A and B are shown apart, each in its own frame.
Chain A
Amino acid sequence: MPELTYREAVRDALVTAMRADDDVFLLGEDIAEMGGSMGVTQGMLAEFGPERVRNTPISEMALAGAAIGAAMQGMRPVAEIMYEDFMTLAAEQVVNQAAKHRYMSGGQLSVPVVFRTQGGAGWSPGAQHAQQLEAWFVHIPGLKVVFASTPEDVRGLLWSSIYDDNPIVFFEHRTLYPIKGDVPEEIEPIPLGKARVHREGGDVTVIATGRLVHESLRAAEEAERDGISVEVVDPRTLQPLDEETLVASVKKTNRAVVAHEAVTRMGFGAEVAAVLQYQAFDWLDAPIERVGAKFAPLPFAPVMENFVVPHAADVLAAIRRTVGRT
């Protein structure tokens, strides 16, 4: 099995789709000569030319609108929004246009566009360049939302996103770009709406996304030393949500922790907790624990940033609370 970094895995999905299919093209800020601010599209201009790797003006609303228009005309555009924080500038197009056209046209139009974007703390980017805003977009009917945590997942899920006929908001995590992982020789599409059980366990289920998947796996190892057996599940697709897998896991373990880097308050984990308490109420042996960032803008100072966002130790503490061993 070849090994790719998360960054290379994203690029591999883009390159493979563009070689196979003329309808797929990229647009975004500084993605051509510069190869994107995170280096994901490096080298692609040389292979595919400026028509298919298009630099846009610095207007997220304009580039999102252009991508939506192209998608409605039958193309499969992949738009890069440099930082998740800038999705707020594209929000009108994503929320009011992309998410609505299929419904409002009675199915006559479809908008097969992917908005790739990245965020996440851990490198001191400050309050405006590291937010985790997935909760904003899972709240919008008509969008699908993906958040992959491993090279294998990011490649297979991006491929499925490009070929899905619905608008997709595709989150990548800044600190995961350099991580390495085995990927299948050929791209294997990963169906949207299918969770991944990273680790099986019997005492507590940790449902985690993005960077927190890795933190949770570390916490699970730590817990194992104390005899607490932890199952770690990554939903991967936040919308639609694989409720079946999550509920089945919690029915097995009777305890749940939801963990993400975004602030806990009104976060994606709140919805997961609601789903679990309703569908697995009679199986719960402890309150569902939530792990997320403190309710504060992300500080620039590394020490303070570290204090605000959650780590493996926070997941471990939550695991211990669910089993009453604090």
Chain B
Amino acid sequence: MATEVILPRLGQGMESGTIVKWLKAEGEQVEKGEPLFELDTDKVTQEVEAETSGVLLRIAVAGGEVPVGRTVAFIGAEGEEAPSVPDASSSEPGSSYQSVVESESAAESRVPATSLSSAANGRIKASPLARRIARERGVDLRSLRGTGPDGRIVAEDVERAEPDESGGSYQTVPESQPAAESRLPATGLSIPVTNVRRTIARRLTQAWEVPVFQLQASADMTRVNALVARLRERDPEVRVTVTDLLTKVCAAALMRHREVNAEWTEEAIVLHPSANVGIAVAAPQGLVVPVIRGAERLSLAEIAAVRTDLVGRARDNKLRTEDLEGGTFTISNLGMFAVESFTAVLNPPQAAIVACGATEDRAVASGGEVVVRPMVTLTATFDHRAVDGAPAAGFLQTVKEGLEDPGLAL
């Protein structure tokens, strides 16, 4: 009996993923735990491992966007016949994945809205809560695709359903890109929008709706530079960077100014117990923000090790969903590009982000004289709904003091 390979849910809220490529060919032997295909979700591109050993009998979906829970392949015994269409009586998504199985091409994996329901034999599988919410909001369950266990429509699916402007039917899975010929200009190079890029666009647009304000401060980096140099000399294996120190200093400051390590919700302002500091990384597939968890408890060397691992994997496209979740604050450092200072866009639902420019020698006044000091300019952006100006300024001041006298943060 062949085992179905199901498109897995890799994180809360994931509804679909895009199969980038298969790492095994039909007829090839696979071992449990071996990478089977590359999956692009709205957060990361990840290798999905086989959950069972056997022969990859059939690849049902060669590529393209696929909803969570759908059968994408079959693994079975050598010489076994792969079922061409899953048994409708035993599998819920039933009628809906037939079209996918038969199209087999990335571009055509788009499922018509009429076949989205998790219906088999006319019966829609939905949780009671999902049914109630659908009733209250006037959502037609038949237009939804279930992402719960066994393809059941759960509350999250209904809540995510957005009105279809054109005709009142609802869609949970974002439609594929608009038809190329209709919208794109005739000239120019078209770069297809990946899920990661679409997520970046959606989140930044969301961030733009947040009422923000910026505060700026410059810090003397003499001691930070000396400390970084000394740490590298002592242990060349672990390459501590200014970003690591900034992470440590910010984490310590966040613990002192809990109101900045916060999240605005309609019900309450949530203060997070730990400083999970996200580091903005320019990865090949676009901007990603892996998170250093509990940075306030980590030593500089530990932060450096975690950061090295995360950034390395971000560049190799090997981040896991959990690497990107749970951030409470973000650091964006463009210092290596000789940017003096810049304003970063908030990373919701976080209440603050700090943008770090280059450390450069500047003439500053010190003790009545003009002296040359390595200076850095930090620009912090805050969600004004969660935090007011004075406490935000207090936070930035603590960060500045921490950089000028790193001992304070350790």
A residues adjacent to B (C-beta < 8 A): 227, 254, 281-286, 321, 324-326
Cβ contact within 8 Å between B131 and A286: no
Contact between A285 and B12, CB atoms less than 8 A apart: no
Contact B128 A282 (CB under 8 A): yes
Taking a contact as CB atoms under 8 Å apart, the answer to whether B9 and A324 are in contact is: yes
Are B9 and A284 within 8 A (Cβ)?
no
Report A254 CB to chain B, min CB distance, Å: 5
Q: Are A282's CB and B129's CB within 8 A?
A: yes
Q: Beyond A284-B128, A285-B128, A285-B154, list 10 extra A-B contacts (CB 8 Å).
A: A227-B12, A254-B129, A254-B155, A282-B128, A282-B129, A283-B128, A285-B129, A286-B152, A321-B149, A326-B149
A285/B155 contact (C-beta < 8 A), A324-B9, A324-B148, A325-B9 known: yes
Cα distance A281–B325 in the bound complex, in angstroms: 32
Q: B127 within 8 Å of A by Cβ?
A: yes
Do A324 and B132 touch across chains, with their CB atoms under 8 A apart? no
- In the bound complex, residues from chain B placing their C-beta under 8 Å from that of A283 are 128-129, 132
Q: Is the CB of B148 within 8 A of A286?
A: yes
Bound Cα distance from A312 to B9, whole angstroms: 24
- Given A324-B9, A325-B9, the answer on whether A285 and B149 have CB atoms closer than 8 Å is no
Interface range, B side: 10 to 19
**What is the 8 Å Cβ interface bit string for chain B, positions 133-165, against chain A (1 contact, 0 not)?**
000000000000001110010110000000000
Interface of B toward A, CB cutoff 8 Å: 9, 12, 127-132, 147-149, 152, 154-155, 325-326
Residue contacts A-B, CB under 8 angstroms, 17 given: A227-B326, A254-B129, A254-B155, A282-B132, A283-B128, A283-B132, A284-B127, A284-B128, A284-B129, A285-B127, A285-B148, A286-B148, A286-B149, A286-B152, A321-B149, A324-B149, A325-B9
Question: Smallest Cβ distance from A104 to chain B, in angstroms?
Answer: 42
Chain B residues near A321: list those with CB within 8 A.
149
Select from chain B the residue with minimum beta-carbon distance to A281: B128
Within the assembled complex, what's the spacing in Å between the Cα atoms of A282 and B128? 5
A-side contacts of B131, CB under 8 Å? 282
- Kindly state the separation between the CA atoms of A227 and B11 in the bound complex, as whole angstroms: 10
State A281–B127 Cα separation when bound (angstroms): 9
Q: Which 7 A-B pairs have the closest CB atoms?
A: A282-B132, A285-B129, A285-B127, A324-B149, A284-B128, A285-B155, A281-B128
Bound form: Cα–Cα A282–B155 in Å: 11
Residues in A whose Cβ lies below 8 Å from that of B152: 286
CB pair B9–A286 under 8 Å, yes or no, is: no
Cα distance, A315 to B214, chains bound together (Å): 48
CB distance from B174 to the nearest CB of A (A): 20
* Most A C-beta atoms less than 10 A away, residue of B128, B131, B147, B154: B128
Instruction: Specify which chain B residues have a CB less than 8 angstroms from the CB of A282 in the assembled complex.
Output: 128-129, 131-132
Q: Give the nearest-CB partner of B326 in chain A.
A: A227
Question: Most B CB atoms within 10 A — which of A227, A284, A285, A286?
Answer: A285
Q: Which residues of B are found within 8 Å of A285, using beta-carbon distances?
A: 127-130, 148, 154-155
A227: which B residues are within 8 A, CB to CB? Answer: 12, 325-326
Nearest Cβ distance between residue B17 and chain A, in whole angstroms? Answer: 15
Q: Which residues of A contact B12 (CB under 8 A)?
A: 227
Look across to chain B and name the residue whose beta carbon is closest to the beta carbon of A254. B129
Cα A281 to Cα B12 in complex, Å, equals 24
Contact flag A286-B132 (CB < 8 Å), given A324-B148, A324-B149, A325-B9 = no
Q: How far is the CB of B12 from chain A (nearest CB, A)?
A: 7
A324 to B148 CA separation, bound complex (whole angstroms): 6
Q: How far is the CB of A325 from chain B (nearest CB, A)?
A: 7
Shortest CB-to-CB span from A146 to chain B, Å, is: 32
CB distance from A230 to the nearest CB of B (A): 15
Q: How far is the CA of A325 from the CA of B326 in the complex (A)?
A: 18
A99-B129 Cα distance, complex, nearest whole Å: 40
Q: Report the separation of the CA atoms of residues A281 and B9 in the bound assembly, to the nearest whole angstrom.
A: 26
Q: How far is the CB of B4 from chain A (nearest CB, A)?
A: 15
* B130: chain A residues within 8 A (beta carbon): 285
Cβ of B154 and Cβ of A324 under 8 Å apart? yes
Contacts of A324 in B (CB 8 A): 9, 147-149, 154
Question: Which residues does chain A contribute within 8 Å of B155, judged by CB atoms?
Answer: 254, 285
Name the distance in Å between B383's Cβ and chain A's nearest Cβ.
Answer: 23
Chain B residues with CB under 8 Å of A281's CB are 128
Cα-based distance from A326 to B130 in the complex (angstroms): 21
Nearest opposing residue in chain B for A284, CB measure: B128
Which A residues are CB-close (under 8 A) to B326? 227
Q: What is the CB-to-nearest-CB distance from A284 to chain B, in angstroms, rounded to a whole number? A: 5
Most buried by A among B129, B131, B147: B129
